[in-house]
Amino acid sequence: MKLKDKVVVITGASSGIGKALAYEFAKRGANLVLGARQFVTLCEITQDIEGRYNNRSVAVQCDVAIEEDCKTLIKQSILTFGRVDVLINNAGISMRALFKDADLKVLKSLMDVNFWGTINCTKHALPEVTKTGGSIVAVSSIAGYKGLPGRTGYSASKFAINGFMDALRVENLNTGVHIMVACPGFTASNIRNTALNKDGISQQESTLNENKMMTSEEVAKQIADGVEQRKRTLILTFQGKLTVFLSKFLPSFVDKQVYKLFSKERDALIK
């Protein structure tokens, strides 16, 4: 699939990987429908993109945890462009709290946004993407292959996304719809700054070294390449590939390494 003149819907497009995806797809000639809760920021992004590239971009205020918002997002794409070629389910939030300390509303919030947000948007986009033989993408995580301490709700939501997308792929083997799961490792973005603490309040500051992480722009480029090449799964970063591989054969060893890694983060939850 060449992306020039394709219509690409991206959720969580106001910052981080979602924002980087908007610029990357625009650079490749796609028209964009961008969804996020931060409408003013989205409008600024669409205006900047239209000023840089010869395409059209539309901003839609959208909370993916609300099905009606997701329905409106897809409707706006049809009203503006008459089609949907690619849906990228990127919107997501994280957490940082041990399960024993966390209010259950924190885990529910993560499932509502990460998992149900993917379900809601995919449900309404699938009929349109089927018409174009396009792509449905979920931005998951290495946490969808390996549970991370202090991120039980996040890992659970990403495992759920992986399972949903895998089943959806099988259902669409003969429809022409391309299903791809992208699993970044640690990526420099604001997701850790907005991660919910045990009480459901954003922690405001990352506890990991962001300087050593893959950039959002690098992730966006690989996802766009994956859509063009109609890949099945993207496991990003060497650390991510190694984690997934070793988890299959040496799960106890990986448990210890993950524990060791997270015991060294600032204000570590595990010692």
Q: Are 167 and 118 in contact (CB under 8 A)?
A: no
Does the structure show a pLDDT above 80 at 157? yes
CB of 203 closer than 8 Å to CB of 193:
yes
pLDDT per position as a tens digit, 78-116:
999 999 999 999 999 999 999 999 999 999 999 999 999
Q: What pLDDT does 186 receive?
A: 73
- Average of per-residue pLDDT across 25-30: 97
**Arithmetic mean of pLDDT, 235-244:** 92
Q: List, for residues 185-199, the tens digit of each pLDDT value.
A: 777 666 657 899 999
Catalytic residue among 23, 53, 145, 154: 154
Other CB atoms closer than 10 Å to residue 204's CB: what's the count? 10
Contact at 8 Å (CB) between 142 and 128?
no
Write out the H or E segment, with its range, that includes residue 215. strand 214-215
pLDDT of 227 reads: 98
Q: Which residues pair with 58 in a beta bridge?
A: 33
Mean pLDDT of the chain: 94
**Residue 271: per-residue pLDDT:** 87
Res. 35: pLDDT tops 90: yes
Helix (H) or strand (E) holding 180: strand 178-183
- Band of the pLDDT at 204, cuts 50, 70, 90? low
Mean pLDDT of 208-234: 89
Q: Which two structure tokens, joined as six digits, stand for 106?
A: 């924190």
In the chain, where the domains are located: 7-239
* Nearest alpha-carbon partner for 243 in 231, 230, 260: 260
CATH of domain 7-239: 3.40.50.720
Cα distance between residue 111 and residue 116, in whole Å: 6
Residue 109 pLDDT: 97
- pLDDT tens by residue, 126-143: 999 999 999 999 999 999
Decide if 53 is catalytic.
no
d(CA 45, CA 57): 9
Q: Are 64 and 11 in contact (CB under 8 A)?
A: yes
| Count of other CB atoms within 10 angstroms of residue 253 | 11
Query: Given this model, what pLDDT does residue 185 score?
Result: 79
| pTM (predicted TM-score) | 0.94
